[in-house]
A and B are shown apart, each in its own frame.
Chain A
């Protein structure tokens, strides 16, 4: 008999030892000893074993540890064996094994040091071996799989792979079939044929992973859940590499999750609509089992293993009051036990297109000049002489007019020809190219990410470092980020394991750039001259004084009053630095079979600091300092103005849980109880210094009371104000204690019952137990219909599961109290500063928690041999006792108060479908699509506080029967023959009539109701085509329904560049037949009707146009979010580069967009602080990922 089984394990063991030593300091911090294992090899193959309640696999491990014996077995065969108790002294291996296999259907064969375990009915037959095969077992990334099992099918002939994933095996002959298996991977069966080298790539069993639902507290098999959840898998997350925030990567992948961005670029995440008016409406983020206080952007998306979104009452009843708006559970990558060291490097760079200035829709410089001339004709410069005499600042256009009119005291009066020259030059000048060259660029974002992971049989670790560098579209806007992450799992023994993790993120961002839509200087005011020098203007926003008046002031103070936008942008120096830590430590105990006791602790610390310097190079600051030079004294110190803001937040959680699983025949029980104690505190400090010297780091002391109280006057008599104050601090101390429990019961794996109960307590004001104490609960039922006998014959149904939950969740805010509350305020009045209390809320003994009752039903199905699978869900969330602002009789002290009085409902349907359209050896085409419909309705509101015009102005009309966010407009009826804005209304006979704007709107019926402000239908999807090593993925999203308001106006009297729609403005009688764009109002009398008008009409009259149906647009769109192209370099080629795997990819973002609004605006995009939608710029990302 040939010795067929030979594996050298020595190499592997050595490596593990090194890793163990590395981890030792960490382990030493744990002083906890559980001494239930003693094993030793005494002599001549005799063992002394004292093992209680351990798995058979553990027995094998003990034996392997203390002898040369090696076990070969199919995991499935051994995993289901009962745990054993051994108390043997000097026993031989046979005794031990017969104890282990007693009562089981397993048998074993010994071959030298190899012990091969096989099912008993299989007859061991050894014949003369005819074929030697060898090969390597790897995962799909090319990483070797040490410890994988290769068995000759139908025999107990087998072997495990070595540390490099290599094996050799002698099999019976060419008809032999080998089975390759490894935990977490799909088992493969291969006919030997005439091959002598069989390399096998095992595919990760994603199906098996998907079957698990991570609630953050528990990991449940999908079969045993009843709640509503969506899981985003790792592959989807990895593919969308351009997203530096995990939320960008899950966008449009999951039903019921609506992700938008606000005007500052922050993500707004809504799960199944909004169910509150005043309390928090964002979901809870749970990372590795803990709710986090830190920003979600501190999570490196490359470290994320999976994201699970919990949507229904079962989420809220287990996670408590913070989970009323859903939970996003993020699991990060961890090293697995018995895993080879895996090093992965990936980097990518994302480049945007240039700013598409043509989409700004601005009028031409010549059209802009025409507008200014019309303003002049309509009487807007009547005050120009006064302005010149008083030394007001003038724009270059106003200066030209003043020159022409001879207003300047120095007698520099222009002739008409000189004036026309100026106008002609202005009409033909446009500084936008200079802005583009000097202030903007293509944005470039680069990311470098390195991770290592691995594990010995006792220890699994994962570590990563990521660096991210981002240069914004506006020169001066940039940020970079570095993230370190270490996660370690240490298995002390079979009953005890520890986890420890540390995550650190440091970010530095600068925001000194210009908002492309906020460009200040008119087209003809060039930024630089032909030598590239910044051109100086006496800018009317500085408040410094007109060119001719301030020359005298400039001589006195020696400070230049002129400046330019280019200099100002270059002088701005605003930096934010943030440092976030998150550390976790956990202990899991499994003292008896089925019972797991866990104790976990998390600590979070976040620091952020903003330094905002306004230096004397900034025109408006320089001018301000100069203006306060009075009577030979600089009242405002010369030097920088330095705003410094510091935030520190710190939170800890301590949680203890016990989970008990028990199976008795067909009955499976899970009981879970726990408690959590939690503290969150935050400090804020704001400080303003004047006369700051960055070199010396000193500031000039000032009497801040004089400055705040308004007791300092400039040479023109204006008091100095600093709205934000000079020093401010605040802090928060929130404490919570919770108790929670969950009970699960499964009968015959078909019928599932699940119930949760949780009580939250907070340190809110007052001690009214009704307010402090809120029980939340949910009950769920599940039915695995496909397991019923009668379904076994329905072959086209592979899975059919029904899940139903009902439960109560609550929402509360720390802002409210049953007692009257006051805050400390500083107010300036009469040149004094008053430090006083402001009573902002009346006593409200009836204050309660908001309640939401949620019903959810889910059907999961997989059909036609798993070709199509999907989920259909329906939910109904009824929220009552919502806190809302309500009008009260002001005679009793408060005109409004926040009280529990409103109710609201959210109903919706969600459908997700996944299908494999086509598949053969080389080609694979998968598609997934999801659809969510949410109907949000306020169901009862007692009083509405605002008049109808407010609805049109964008304050939502909170009323029964309407969605919470809704869009209304004025019913604009065009212009009359004198250019006066008209409103349509229905008279008492139901006939449409027109009336002038100043008669106003008094009834809701006079407005037009458009619909919800949030799209009720949202969804997305993905399709992926794979050809050999090439992948092509297209991700798309769509929203249907919903409206938004977009308008521009001339209310800055034509100073800045304006929207080209105003070219078509009404100018003379008759224009009303062809245009609805309002005229420029007259200051004085409208010559066409003799009626008085003034510039207030820009605010009063034009509002009826600005907020009319003409400026309401549909939010519907369909958009290809990204196209991703991936090429996996073939293994053999990669190996020539000493790599296990190499992948290159390219992602194009925002390539195609179809919108329902005629302006072509992308409602998913904003720029800077502008709330209006913008163009979402196309970007391209190149990435490479290498595995060593």
Chain B
């Protein structure tokens, strides 16, 4: 009897040693992404809308701060943008633009590496193709935004110019050097070409909800913007028109009113979404990437030259966003506040950007009438009592198109990017100066100061980037 019990007990002890099946249950609450469905959900993160040219806001020469100048810039990185400084960030500070783009590139690379062999999960084979296409296109737009923010502009005669590092596989230890601008553009175009057949060609061809994810039209739109940057005007016009054929929504701003009559700082009645909720709520977006938010403090003032271009009484792009007071209610004359209070600007692909891209490409390739036709699409939605214009000659049409571009895209950083682009076309761009505490800072055309410096905390890790 005694022995029986003893043996029984020992066997209980030993039986409990067979623990593999017991321990193989995975803890819940988090997961290792491995199915197509998981990958799909990774791309659904709305922080994919961050950022486009994030570090360039105060670099834009059209940003005016008035007599107090950069004293009102209460973040050191803004001051450094404003003076086109050699470094924007302290050694210990992160650059959100760089970090978020590369973080998403890690996810895109992970998906592209695994998706062909991944189990479907709750997804379908059609999803596998779509998710792969989206990951490719999203990697392309990340590279496109990075290379234009941190490197010199694309120029067919200088493809060897240093671009940005281009991780295409996961490696936390990699110390990649900068790829050349030419290599980066080649990769961007290759990714987009690979994406096109994987994405279904539908109308409207955009992701109506998750605007930070591309549809067919979004990819065409990005191809148009890239072609414009490469001075490939024929393709720029074609792609832009193809994209617009699928999606061309424009707000009719002539009907917009202030929420508080006479007080532009209170915002636009009924448009709280655009003001508070990010680019995904902007219906004009084909591909949402946040470029700038206009703060009330430090509020910026209208550039006095830009201001003169507007029909100030009737052009709602001026009338709605102009105030004689700053946000604290103080009179700031002779300046005028730019009161685009908390408006989120899209630096990705939008309907106005494509209209103007198409117009510019047509104007530059001899189709002046086509260009004017595009302007006549935009004008009535922006200017009260708009009178359609007509083509006179190529030079005046191009001037009209570029002025319209400056007005429509003001304070969204795209104008600043245009200065780089015009210089790469060989056109004359002014030299800008800012005097700060007696010291004159100069932004010469084609200067490296147009390019955001690679943050020092990155260079410290990777000496291969220290050029």
Contact = CB atoms under 8 A, between A and B. Distances in A.
Contacts of A825: 45
Contact of A888 (B12, B92, B172, B276): B172
Interface string A349-393: 000000000000000000000000000000000110110011000
A891 B172 contact: no
Contact of A761 (B23, B109, B170, B273): B23
Interface in A651-695: 654, 656, 658, 674-675, 677
A836 B329 contact: no
B22 A735 contact: yes
A830 B28 contact: no
Interface centre among B9, B94, B165, B457 (most CB of A within 10 A): B9
Interface in B165-188: 165, 167, 170-176
Interface in B137-181: 165, 167, 170-176
A901 to B, nearest CB: 13
Contact of A837 (B45, B46, B92, B288): B45
B12 A656 contact: yes
Nearest to A587: B9
A842 B6 contact: no
A717 B175 contact: no
Contact of A390 (B12, B16, B171, B260): B260
Contacts of B329: 382-383, 385-386
Nearest to A386: B329
A893 B103 contact: yes
Interface stretch (A251-259, A294-302, A468-476, A816-824): A816-824
Given A386-B329, A827-B46, A710 B172 contact: no
Given A677-B19, A717-B272, A893 B209 contact: no
B92 A730 contact: no
B68 interface: yes
B397 interface: no
Nearest to B90: A947
Given A735-B25, A829-B280, A830-B280, A761 B19 contact: yes
B334 interface: no
A599 B9 contact: yes
B379 to A, nearest CB: 27
B184 to A, nearest CB: 14
Interface in B283-299: 288, 297
A88 interface: no
B269 interface: yes
Given A891-B167, A892-B167, A1092-B72, A589 B27 contact: no
A946 interface: yes
B337 interface: no
Contacts of A674: 13
B280 A656 contact: no
Contacts of B109: 893
Contacts of B74: 1094, 1096, 1100
Given A656-B9, A737-B19, A895-B99, A843 B276 contact: no
Interface stretch (B29-37, B228-236, B237-245, B421-429): B29-37
B71 interface: yes
Given A382-B328, A893-B170, A894-B106, A1092 B46 contact: no
A737 B22 contact: yes
B297 to A, nearest CB: 8
Interface centre among A819, A842, A893, A1084 (most CB of B within 10 A): A893
A821 B30 contact: yes
A713 B269 CA distance: 11
Interface string B107-132: 10110000000000000000000000
B1 A893 contact: no
B101 to A, nearest CB: 9
B22 A677 contact: yes
Interface in B59-101: 68, 71-72, 74, 76, 90, 92-95, 98-99
Nearest to B282: A830
A892 B102 contact: yes
A830 B276 CA distance: 8
Nearest to A890: B99
A380 B280 CA distance: 36
B106 A829 contact: no
Given A597-B6, A677-B19, A835-B41, A890 B276 contact: no
Interface string A804-838: 00000000001001011111110111111011111
B34 to A, nearest CB: 9
Contacts of A1083: 328
B80 to A, nearest CB: 13
Q: For this complex, into which size category does the number of interface residues on chain B fall?
A: 35 or more
A34 B22 contact: no
Contacts of A891: 98, 102, 165, 167, 174, 176, 458, 461-462, 465
B6 A732 contact: no
A232 interface: no
A837 B41 contact: yes
B49 interface: yes
B31 A822 contact: yes
B358 to A, nearest CB: 26
Contacts of B280: 829-832
A830 B33 contact: no
Interface residues of A, number: 88
B387 to A, nearest CB: 33
Given A732-B27, A830-B279, A889 B32 contact: no
A842 B68 CA distance: 45
Contacts of A836: 41-46
Nearest to A766: B32
Nearest to B106: A893
Contacts of A772: 23
Contacts of B99: 890, 895
B107 A839 contact: yes
Given A383-B328, A731-B28, A719 B277 contact: yes
Interface string A574-595: 0000000000000001011000
A815 to B, nearest CB: 9
A675 B13 contact: yes
B281 interface: yes
Contacts of B276: 710, 719
A1110 B102 CA distance: 43
Given A36-B2, A838-B45, A891-B165, A739 B23 contact: no
Interface in A30-61: 34-36
A717 B266 CA distance: 10
B32 A817 contact: yes
B313 interface: no
A739 to B, nearest CB: 7
B269 A890 contact: no
Nearest to B23: A763
A897 B172 contact: yes
Given A591-B6, A719-B277, A836-B41, A599 B172 contact: no
24 contacts: A382-B329, A386-B329, A677-B22, A732-B29, A737-B19, A763-B24, A763-B27, A765-B26, A772-B23, A822-B32, A822-B38, A824-B31, A827-B46, A829-B277, A834-B44, A835-B41, A843-B170, A891-B462, A893-B106, A893-B109, A893-B170, A945-B92, A1000-B76, A1096-B74
Given A383-B329, A599-B9, 19 more contacts: A34-B2, A36-B2, A717-B269, A717-B272, A733-B25, A733-B27, A735-B23, A735-B25, A763-B22, A764-B27, A824-B31, A832-B46, A832-B209, A839-B106, A842-B106, A843-B172, A889-B458, A891-B167, A892-B167
| Shortest 8 CB-CB contacts between residues of A and residues of B | A893-B106, A830-B280, A830-B281, A889-B461, A829-B46, A836-B44, A947-B92, A737-B19
Interface of B: 1-2, 5-6, 9, 12-13, 16-17, 19, 22-33, 38, 41-47, 49, 68, 71-72, 74, 76, 90, 92-95, 98-99, 102-103, 105-107, 109-110, 165, 167, 170-176, 209-211, 259-260, 263, 266-267, 269, 272-273, 276-282, 288, 297, 328-330, 457-458, 461-462, 465
